[in-house]
Chains A and B, each alone.
Chain A
Amino acid sequence: MQYLLMIAMDEQAYAALPAEVAAENMAAYGRFWAEMEERGVIRGGERLYPTTDATCVQVRDGRVITADGPFAETKEQLGGYYLVDVADLDEAIDVASKIPGAAHGTIEVRPIWSM
């Protein structure tokens, strides 16, 4: 099954990290990527620009409604994602728990709706 692992975190706090902490974080993500590529579960993943650069799109009554900002106002924002292909939810949770951001943010695990 494929799952989208969404990394929700406090992006302002993250942007304010000292350079050496930010660099160590990047390195941790690099190690996570290498480990999961080795395991053969990674189908994709990117870091995202912050929600200040986000646009929400909705279609209502046939009209496209475009709005500035993220989809929800919460303390944490979507900071990146991985697309993984694993056996079941237990393995998806296992992979999600290894994402460095799981330690301070939240990883939302969403099953991919296979068409």
Chain B
Amino acid sequence: MSGPDPAGRVDDAVAAAYRDEWGRVVATLIRVTGDWDLAEECAQDAFARAVERWPRDGVPRNPGAWLTTTARNAAIDRLRRDRTGRRKLEELAGIEEREMTASTSGADAHGDEQRASGIVDDRLRLVFTCCHPALALDAQVALTLREMVGLTTGEVARAFLVSEPTIAQRLVRAKRKIRNAGIPYRVPPRAQLADRLGAVLSVVYLLFNEGYGASVGDDLVRGAMCDEAIRLCRTIAELLPDEPEVLGLLALMLLHDSRRATRVDAHGDVVLLDEQDRARWDHDAIDDGLTTLDRALARRRPGPYQVQAAIAACHARAPVADATDWPQIAALYGELLRMSPSPVVELNRAVAVAMADGPGVGLALLEPLAASGVLAGYYLLPAARADLLRRAGRRHEAAAAYEEALRLVGTEPERRFLTRRLAEVTG
């Protein structure tokens, strides 16, 4: 104990502990009790106890351990109080005994589960279970935010513009399915790890994009979602240091997030990459992103997140838009297309090729894509065509393409942007 603190600093310490330790406390309590609701309630008890005790006794040297012990004791109290809990309590004692013998004898009952560190962090079990593919994607997202990140149901509801009862219901159903369907609380065995990690990372990236791109929610909540996604990915990267795609996704998010302040102007209008004030990019985030990407690439197991991060890095490294290494970006999109083919990646590649080799070459790649109709209704296709036609000096065709994009576009700032460009080519 570090002795009594002024109240303000203790409040900060509780807030920090909540942010850093919530997932760990819940994760451990789920493993020990096998009961998600009980785990959540006891974690809440422990934080309430901290608010009460820490101003008087001082902040413990290891807040995480204090909170976990307090939550565990709260679980034992609650279980003692009801009759059905007695049996659970015996199971709990059994689990702890087995753990003790396993750790003292070094016995490796779950060989596959034990990673380089020797002991699996419960948070890893938690995140893999929250993102189990047997759960609906919206349930995976809600569970991850509630159990792992520690958002309240109200905060999750505000982030997705869904009513709080809807989120609460979604969480109840997800936890019921985990229990009834026998979804195991564990890190998947090595043979399934790549697949299952993919599911975890798509939830993390979805959280980030919800904050970054998104069409809904207020700016404050959205910014917080980006921060949470990055923090969560950092935790996963610490826990699975040998997985380069985790680092790749972390680098990708850091590099995108470095441009957060410059993406929209004072009127809420979109500012494209080539018009952003690069001096206002977050250069600490860029350095962090580039270092993280290097660490990922050093593992020599490339994947789609690493390639996307490498593309973002090309932009981040260019001091001015004209210095962008477009041939490299076009090559990276080619690589991405090979790894995870999609018409959207094809579209991006065509745009990059146009920047590298001229609008005519890019248009030649876009025409078959447009003709195939796979991106029908996607406004960025006519918008990209319009831009290339404009740069090729084909103003009439450009105007027609801008008009087509305007018919499909969803959000107001993007509409204003296209209207401005349309005026340029018709004026």
Task: Spell out A's residues near B (CB within 8 Å).
Answer: 1, 3, 87-90, 92-93, 109, 111, 113
Q: Does B180 contact A (CB under 8 A)?
A: yes
Residue of B nearest to A92 (CB): B182
Q: Which chain B residues border A109 with CB–CB below 8 Å?
A: 181
* Contact, CB under 8 Å: B184 / A90: yes
> What is the bound-complex CA distance between A93 and B192, given in angstroms?
12
Majority secondary structure of chain B interface residues (helix, strand, loop or mixed): loop
B181 touches A89 (CB 8 A): yes
B30 to chain A, nearest CB (A): 15
Which 9 residue pairs of A and B lie closest in terms of their CB atoms, listed nearest first? A88-B184, A1-B182, A88-B182, A89-B182, A89-B183, A111-B181, A89-B181, A90-B184, A111-B180
- Closest Cβ of chain B to A102, distance in Å, is 15
Please, how many angstroms separate the alpha-carbon atoms of A35 and B184 in the complex? 24
A1 CA / B181 CA spacing, docked (Å): 9
A90: shortest Cβ distance to chain B, in Å? Answer: 6
Tell me how far the C-beta of A3 lies from the nearest C-beta in chain B, rounded to whole angstroms.
8
Asked if A93 contacts B180 (CB within 8 A), the reply is no
Report A-chain residues with C-beta under 8 Å of the C-beta of B183. Answer: 88-90
Question: Are A93's CB and B182's CB within 8 A?
Answer: no
B: number of interface residues (CB 8 Å): 9
A113 CA to B134 CA, complexed, in Å = 18
Q: Which of B170-215 contact A (CB under 8 A)?
A: 180-184, 188, 192
Chain B residues near A113: list those with CB within 8 A: 180
* Chain B, Cβ-Cβ closest to A86: B182
Whether B184 contacts A87 by the Cβ 8 Å rule is yes
* Residues of chain A lying within 8 A (CB to CB) of residue B181: 89, 109, 111
- Compute how far the CA of A88 lies from the CA of B34 in the bound complex, rounded to whole angstroms: 14
Q: List residues 282-321 of chain B with CB under 8 A from any CB of chain A.
A: none
Q: Give the complex CA separation of A115 and B192 in angstroms.
A: 32
Given A90-B188, A90-B192: A111 touches B182 (CB 8 Å cut-off): yes
Per the bound structure, the CA–CA distance linking A112 and B184 in Å amounts to 16
* Distance between A85 CB and nearest chain B CB, rounded to angstroms: 11
CA distance A1 to B184 in the complex (A): 11
Collect the chain A residues with CB atoms within 8 Å of residue B192's CB: 90
- Nearest chain B CB to A112's CB is how many angstroms away? 10
| B128 shortest CB reach to chain A, Å | 10
Note all chain B residues with C-beta closer than 8 A to A89.
Answer: 132, 134, 181-184
Q: Return A44 CB to nearest CB of chain B, in Å.
A: 19
Complex CA distance for A38 and B181, rounded to whole angstroms? 24
Chain B residue contacts of A92, Cβ below 8 A? 182
Chain B: which residue is nearest A110 at the CB level? B181
| Chain B residue at minimum C-beta to C-beta distance from A113 | B180
- B266 to chain A minimum Cβ distance, whole angstroms, is 51
Q: Which residue of B lies closest to A111 (CB)?
A: B181
Residues in B with CB closer than 8 Å to A93 are 134
23 contacts between A and B (CB under 8 A): A1-B182, A3-B182, A87-B184, A88-B182, A88-B183, A88-B184, A89-B132, A89-B134, A89-B181, A89-B182, A89-B183, A89-B184, A90-B183, A90-B184, A90-B188, A90-B192, A92-B182, A93-B134, A109-B181, A111-B180, A111-B181, A111-B182, A113-B180
Q: A1-B182, A89-B182, A89-B183 are in contact. List 8 more A-B contacts (CB 8 A).
A: A87-B184, A88-B183, A88-B184, A89-B134, A90-B183, A90-B188, A90-B192, A113-B180
Interface core residue of B180, B181, B183, B184 (most chain A CB under 10 Å): B181
Q: How far is the CB of A54 from chain B (nearest CB, A)?
A: 26
In the complex, what residues of B have CB within 8 A of residue A88's CB? 182-184
Could you say which residues of chain A place their CB within 8 Å of the CB of B180?
111, 113
> For A111, what are the chain B residues with a Cβ–Cβ distance below 8 Å?
180-182
Of B132, B134, B182, the most chain A CB neighbours within 10 A belong to: B182
Residue of A nearest to B178 (CB): A89
For A87, list chain B residues within 8 Å (CB): 184
CB distance from B196 to the nearest CB of A (A): 9
Complex CA gap A56/B350 in Å reads 56
The smallest beta-carbon distance between B190 and chain A, in angstroms, is 13
In Å, the complex CA distance between A90 and B132 comes to 10
Rounded to whole angstroms, the CA-CA distance of A109 and B177 in the bound complex is 12
Q: How far is the CA of A82 from the CA of B192 in the complex (A)?
A: 24
